[in-house]
Chain A
Amino acid sequence: MIPEIGNFFLIASFSVATFIFCLATFSYYFEREILDLSTLIYFKFGFVFLSFLALEVSFLFDDFSVLYVASNSNPFLPNYYKISALWGGHEGSMLLFILILSLWIILFALFSKYQSARDKNYLYGFTSLIFMSFAGFTIFTSNPFERLLPVPPLNGTDLNPLLQDFAFTIHPPMLYLGYAGLVIPFAIALGRCIGVKDAWSSRIKKWTTLSWSFLTLGIALGSWWAYYELGWGGWWFWDPVENSSLIPWLIATALIHSAIVTDKRNIFVNWTILLAVLAVIGSFIGMFLVRSGILTSVHTFALDPERGLILLIITLLISIYSFYLFFRADTVPKETTDYTFYSKEFFLLINNALLLILAAVILFGTIYPIIYDIFTGGKSITVGAPYFNLTSVPIAFFIAFFQGYGILTSWGNSKKQKNYYLLLLGIVFLLTFLFTYTLFSYPDIFSFASYLMFAAIISGLVIYIFKNLNNKNLVVNNLGMVTAHFGIAIMILGIGVVSSFSQNKEVIIGKGEFTNLSNYKVKLIEEGKEEFSNYFSEVVQFEVENNVTQKKILLKPEKSFYPASNNVMTESDIYIRPKEDLYISLSEKLESGKWIAKIQIKPFVRLIWIGALIMMIGGFLAVFRRIKYE
């Protein structure tokens, strides 16, 4: 009964969204006053929430007559993971996505005040269009409430063990908060096309920054999860799924910067609208690539080409609709401001161009296998990680340098000002020199590039703060920006160091034997078995001794077996130090009783996620300062 109730409310929310969209469209074309649609927005959220609860209840009570529960849960799964198992597969994650989307729409309804209710109704119409597409997609192609009747299985096939993990429980919700949030600037931009002007650019800036912060956290959580849970210590694989989250992130980053210019100077108007539309279309394309199974990826959802086709059609229809509104609109303001070559406007334009080129290059590498397949009649290729490194690092390098100098420029014209670039260059080289000679003996080209990038951004920020010491308000108001830029610098440094100076060793090791890596002596001292409610594992204890400090600690990597799904998992164990991680994972036990293990040293790897966290905090600071400020 409960799944039927859930299904009913899911359909109800879809109907409400369709109704809102039709009513808003009607009101626009016939220029009629209609009721305030806010109430319906709350109803819609309530319906999705009830539907979500119904599915959670089915999970908690092990209702295996629901196909989705049967294929993603198991009676022995701890309750905590039963709750998160809801977004462990395609159907449930779609439900989570539309729940989060309707939550964003409510936040928008609550916190953005419009002068005329009619104007706001139009924006509800645009958000409901997206909601309607996804709710419809969920109901008709991937309904999580589908039943396995009349004979339900006694047992579920269990949640994929990779997903039975803390980071996974919060990674998809954060990521979806990021993706779904981009729908709000999308609606505001389309609203601008039909003449809703209330503070539109500052609103785009605010909502984009907020969802960008969640997107940043979501991507970083995914990377952190992959690092310790996939078992082999990689933190970014240029996998299609990762790329399709990075592309909307890059577009959203460009959008924030372009909206700043539009807000301040009333230029780049069309460009801001276009980016807001592209950000949403970009995340749709990402969703299409991931869920259609058209690309081979580590993240496998139950694949179904029909779903892919429908997602593609939805993406196309929404693109056509948005571009129709965009091209018929008269958005270019009559009065524009002028700017020169040495102005903040021009630097932000460069930033936008480079970010979009970077996004395009990554998109191209991701879909090249499809293009190749089509043009060679079914020949299959993969584009390796070196492609992405080779193309994205140089572009990112230029972005970092323009970023470092760009924040020192002023609006309009910076020519009459002092030129800081000599000072900037000096500091860059000094910092790079210091890094190279204090951290490690000799750098390779990638780490050297990352030092330069780090130094360029940091010195730009330092000069910025010193230059504006007598104007504290400016620095305080831009604290979010400074923080976020500091975060990306930290992340770049982490990426450079860990990519160049990681060490690893694959060893065959028996009880009582030891091996050395860098400053550590790693000794296998004990083997044992442990049993848990839904799996059992072999645990191997290693004693790690630091040759410098003589400190000893124990690491216990595991090899786990999950009988319900017949799955094997590598659980690594990590000795976390401020300077580096020592990472041990087990491969297999040989006939001789010895283990194959991989021992790795990952210097400063945590800077990558700390950097992302700082960026997120920067985003929040920027948004919430502004709310107070207005």
Chain B
Amino acid sequence: MIKIRRNRLYAVLFIVSSSAVAVGLVLIALNQNINLFYSPSELLESGPLKNKSIRIGGLVEKGSLNRVSDSLEVNFIITDLKEKVAVKYSGILPDLFKEDAGVVATGYYDKNNNSFQAFEILAKHDENYEPKEVVNALEGK
């Protein structure tokens, strides 16, 4: 009987300590790897810290997309139909990225000149689907 209790103690000790380590890991990881979402209006209202990566979303403004000739660099404007943010990106754009369509960009915001340096661009996955955040941003929620 004592043996069984001792086994239980070992088991409980192991589970408690490894759970504690896991919780610690989760807290550290969450602290660094969460990307808050902003619409252009929210960005102007309360811009985030300069060195924290965030996501922004809205529509790619019509006529705003231009490519630095023969390079991977593109500039465009994301709008929620009220406010606008200029976005810079260097890299491959998703297949369904186009003007007047929804987009979500991950990157860093520079409040001083209202510009956004993106390192990841997500567009819709198919013709019928619009990212949830984009829909909310356009509705002004």
CA distance A302 to B55 in the complex (A): 24
> What sequence of 0s and 1s flags, for each residue 591-604 of chain A, a beta carbon within 8 Å of any chain B beta carbon?
01010101000000
Q: Are B37 and A379 in contact (CB under 8 A)?
A: yes
Interface 9-residue window, one of A333-341, A454-462, A469-477, A608-616 = A333-341
Closest A residue to B42 using CB positions? A379
8 tightest Cβ-Cβ pairs between the two chains A and B:
A380-B37, A387-B33, A390-B29, A568-B95, A384-B33, A587-B92, A387-B29, A386-B33
A339 close to B7 (CB less than 8 A) = yes
List residues of A (359-389) whose CB comes within 8 Å of B's CBs.
Answer: 360-361, 364-365, 368, 372, 378-388
Write the nearest CB–CB distance from B84 to chain A, whole angstroms: 20
Interface centre among A350, A364, A381, A395 (most CB of B within 10 A): A381
Q: Say if the beta carbon of A234 comes within 8 Å of chain B.
A: no
In the complex, the answer to whether A353 meets B18 with C-beta atoms within 8 Å is yes
Q: Closest residue of chain B to A358, judged by CB?
A: B22
In chain B between 35 and 82, which residues have their CB closer than 8 angstroms to a CB of chain A?
Answer: 35-37, 55, 67, 69-72
Assess A390 versus B25: contact at CB under 8 Å? Given A380-B37, A569-B95. yes
CA distance A203 to B37 in the complex (A): 48
Q: Give the residue of A298, A390, A587 whose beta carbon is less than 8 angstroms from that of B28.
A: A390
Residues of A within 8 A of B14 (CB): 349-350, 353
Task: Kindly state the separation between the CA atoms of A336 and B26 in the bound complex, as whole angstroms.
Answer: 37
**Interfacial chain A residues near B34, Cβ < 8 Å:** 368, 372, 381-384, 387
Beyond A340-B3, A379-B37, A390-B28, 6 additional contacts (C-beta under 8 Å) are A360-B22, A365-B26, A372-B34, A380-B136, A382-B34, A568-B95
Point out the residue from A338, A383, A594 that lies within 8 Å of B3, measured CB to CB. Answer: A338
Contact present for A340 and B7 (CB under 8 Å): yes
Please tell me if the beta carbons of B10 and A346 are within 8 angstroms of each other in the complex. Answer: yes
Q: Which residue of A lies closest to B69 (CB)?
A: A592
- Given the interface contacts A349-B11, A569-B95, does A381 sit within 8 Å of B36 by beta carbon? yes
B: residues with CB less than 8 A from A are 3-4, 7, 10-11, 14-15, 18-19, 21-22, 25-26, 28-30, 32-37, 55, 67, 69-72, 91-93, 95-96, 125-129, 131-133, 136, 141
Q: Which residues of chain B are within 8 angstroms of A587 by Cβ–Cβ distance? A: 92-93
Q: Is there a chain B Cβ closer than 8 Å to A500's Cβ?
A: no
Docked-complex contact A565 and B67, CB < 8 angstroms: no
Q: List 17 A-B contacts (CB under 8 A).
A: A232-B92, A298-B125, A302-B128, A338-B4, A346-B10, A357-B22, A380-B37, A380-B136, A384-B33, A387-B32, A390-B33, A395-B25, A398-B18, A567-B96, A587-B93, A590-B70, A598-B92
Partner of A567, one of B127, B131, B141: B127
Q: Which of B26, B32, B92 contacts A361 (CB 8 A)?
A: B26
* Inter-chain contacts of A443 with B (CB < 8 A): none
Q: Is the C-beta of A566 less than 8 angstroms from some C-beta in chain B?
A: yes
Residue of A nearest to B34 (CB): A381
Q: Considering only CB atoms, which chain A residue lies closest to B3 in the complex?
A: A338
Shortest distance between the CB of A144 and any CB in chain B (Å): 18
| Interface: A33 (CB within 8 A) | no
Determine if A394 is an interface residue (Cβ-Cβ < 8 Å): yes
A102 at the interface (CB under 8 A from B): no
Shortest Cβ distance from residue B3 to the other chain A in the assembled complex, whole angstroms: 5
Instruction: Let me know if B4 and A336 touch, CB within 8 A.
Output: yes
Q: Is A160 an interface residue (CB 8 A)?
A: yes
Residues of chain B within 8 A (CB-CB) of A300 are 125-126, 129
Q: Does A391 contact B (CB under 8 A)?
A: yes
Closest residue on chain B to residue A369 by CB atoms = B34
Asked if residues B30 and A387 are in contact (CB atoms below 8 Å), the reply is yes
A592: chain B residues at CB < 8 Å are 69-70
From B72, B96, B133, contact of A380 by CB (8 A): B133
Fill in one digit per residue for A322-353: 1 if any B CB lies within 8 Å of its CB, else 0: 00000000000000101111000010011001
**Is A386 a contact partner of B32 (Cβ separation < 8 A)?**
yes
* B131 / chain A contacts, CB cutoff of 8 Å: 296
Q: Does A293 contact B (CB under 8 A)?
A: yes
Tell me the complex Cα distance, A583–B70, Å: 23
| Min CB gap A406→B, angstroms | 13
Select from chain A the residue with minimum beta-carbon distance to B4. A338
A336 and B59 CA atoms in complex are apart in Å by 65
The CA of A340 and the CA of B96, in the complex, are separated in Å by 60
- Beta-carbon contacts under 8 Å, A530-567 to B: 565-567
Q: Is the pair A594, B70 in contact by a Cβ cutoff of 8 Å?
A: yes
Residues of B within 8 A of A572 (CB): none
Chain B residues within 8 Å of A338, by CB:
3-4, 7
Within 8 Å by CB of A368, from B30, B93, B126, lies B30
Q: Which residues in chain A, 100-124, are within 8 Å of chain B measured between CB atoms?
A: none
Q: Does the CB pair B96–A568 fall under 8 Å?
A: yes
Q: Which residues of B contact A391 (CB under 8 A)?
A: 22, 25-26, 29
Are B26 and A364 interface neighbours, CB within 8 A?
yes
Q: Tell whether A570 is near chain B: CB-to-CB under 8 Å.
A: yes
Contacts of B26 in A (CB 8 A): 361, 364-365, 391
Is A596 a contact of B55 with CB atoms below 8 Å? no
Distance (whole angstroms) from the CB of B23 to the closest CB of chain A? 9
Q: Which residue of B lies closest to A299 (CB)?
A: B125
Do A293 and B132 touch (CB < 8 A)? yes
Tell me the bound Cα distance from A383 to B36 in angstroms. 9
| Interface membership of A36, Cβ < 8 A | no
Contacts of B37 in A (CB 8 A): 379-382
A304 to B106 Cα, complex, angstroms: 27
Q: Are B72 and A506 in contact (CB under 8 A)?
A: yes
Flag if A588 contacts B93 (CB, 8 Å): yes
Chain B min CB distance to A343 (Å)? 9
CA distance A202 to B7 in the complex (A): 24
Residues of B within 8 A of A387 (CB): 29-30, 32-34
Once A378-B141, A379-B36, A384-B34 are accepted as A-B contacts, the answer to whether A346 and B22 lie under 8 Å apart by CB is no
Q: Inside 8 A of A594's CB, which chain B residues have their CB?
A: 70
**How distant is the Cα of A354 from the Cα of B17 in the complex, in angstroms?**
11
Give residues 278-320 of A contacting B (CB, 8 Å). Answer: 293, 296, 298, 300, 302
Interface residue A508 (Cβ < 8 Å from any Cβ of B): yes
Contacting B33 at CB < 8 Å: which of A353, A361, A383?
A383
* In the complex, chain A residues 570-585 whose Cβ is within 8 Å of any chain B Cβ: 570
Instruction: Give the docked Cα–Cα distance between A468 and B61 (Å).
Output: 70
Chain B nearest Cβ from A313, distance in angstroms: 22
In chain B, what residue has the closest Cβ to A565? B127
A160:B126 contact, CB within 8 angstroms = yes
Chain A residues near B21: list those with CB within 8 A. 394
Q: Roughly how many angstroms separate A160 CA and B7 CA in the complex, as a whole number?
A: 55
Q: How far is the CA of A353 from the CA of B35 in the complex (A)?
A: 30
Return the contact of B35 from the options A302, A341, A381, A394 (Cβ within 8 A).
Answer: A381
Q: Which residues of A contact B129 (CB under 8 A)?
A: 300
